[in-house]
Amino acid sequence: MNIEHSQNEPELTVIIPAFNEACGILTFLDLLQNALSGCCADFEVLVIDDGSRDETWPLVRDAASHFSWLRCLRFTRNFGKEAAVLAGMRHARGRALVVMDADGQHPPELLPKLLAPWRSGSAHIVAAQKKCGSVSLMSRFNTYTFNRLMHALTGLDLANASDYRLLDRSVVNALLAFPEKVRFFRGMTVWTGYSMVQVEFEVAPRIAGTSQWSTGQLTRLAIIAITGYSAKPLSMIFWLGMFGMAAALLLFLQAIYSWFAGTAVSGWSSLTVVILFFGSANLLGVGVLGAYLAQIFDEIKRRPEYIVGETVE
């Protein structure tokens, strides 16, 4: 069923980053259309193909030729989900914007609950909060560890948060005005301070395939998020150095006392432990400094966040 839309400013734009989702993308678009047609008379859907290596792009390109509400962008290669979300925000025309995953784990039937607080004017951001649902134990552990680190080091409370959220156009414009190249969408929306309402949802099973996120990718995302929002790791290095100086002073005083008392003995084990500890601390400190320098390096290059290879309106 096609629905007529304003060509300039629909009420809602749904942004869908997609990477190797050929097995389930058409099913998800059908579910999304059914949900949107029941709660929104004026909408558009914008699929961002993040350099998929399967048949995702041919499928969504063909679907866009049949549905007036579907628009598509394709990156020249894989630039990452954050770049796909940014591209979606830049090309969205709606007065409100919703970001959803293409795997079906963000249920489209939740959309009316996201729209209601925004329509009533009670919130600029309506964030979907995850319950356990079908999330694996390892995934829950990774998420818990990430959220605890973020809260401890940045003060941002992202417990049970997801990228599934509705943003008012004013929030989108504020995010687009941010000058930085390295972005963390979930944290940036909270950082803006706009009024927010949370809506819980059960994480649904994937429509098809397996998650594209590995532990290494999640670790890299955590490093980007923490170094992008807090300088606390740098201050932790300072206090670690102070601790090392205090420990060295105590060892020095103990050595002087043992010498005068005539009880000085060779302490190879303790010496080895001290060398290993402070050697590891030095490497950790260099690693933290390197993470911040990498952020600065990416920013000063001023390269585009992504390159669009093809569009379908």
pLDDT at 293: 80
pLDDT at 216: 65
pLDDT tens-digit map of 114-131? 999 999 999 999 999 887
- pLDDT bracket for residue 250 (50, 70, 90): confident
**Category of 167 on φ-ψ map: left (φ > 0), alpha (ψ -120 to 50) or beta:** beta
The residue that leads in pLDDT, 306 or 132, is 306
User: By the 8 A CB rule, do 76 and 53 touch?
Assistant: no
CB atoms within 10 A of CB 134: 11
CA angle 7, 48, 51 (to 5 degrees): 145
pLDDT at 246: 74
Copy the structure tokens of residue 124. Answer: 């600029």
Q: Tell me which range, 43-47, 200-204, 294-298, is most confidently predicted by mean pLDDT.
A: 43-47
Percent of the chain with pLDDT over 90: 42
- pLDDT bracket for residue 3 (50, 70, 90): very low
- pLDDT bracket for residue 56 (50, 70, 90): very high
Q: Which CATH number fits domain 12-212+304-312: 3.40.50.720, 3.40.1280.10, 3.90.550.10, 3.40.50.2000?
A: 3.90.550.10
Residue spans of the domains in the chain: they are 12-212+304-312, 232-301
Which of 110-119, 129-138, 192-201, 232-241 shows the lowest mean pLDDT across its residues?
129-138
pLDDT at 90: 95
The residue that leads in pLDDT, 214 or 5, is 214
The sign of the CA dihedral 69, 73, 78, 81 is negative
Mean pLDDT within 296-305:
83
pLDDT tens-digit map of 73-97? 999 999 989 999 999 999 999 999 9
User: By the 8 A CB rule, do 127 and 199 touch?
Assistant: yes
Copy the structure tokens of residue 300. Answer: 């000063």
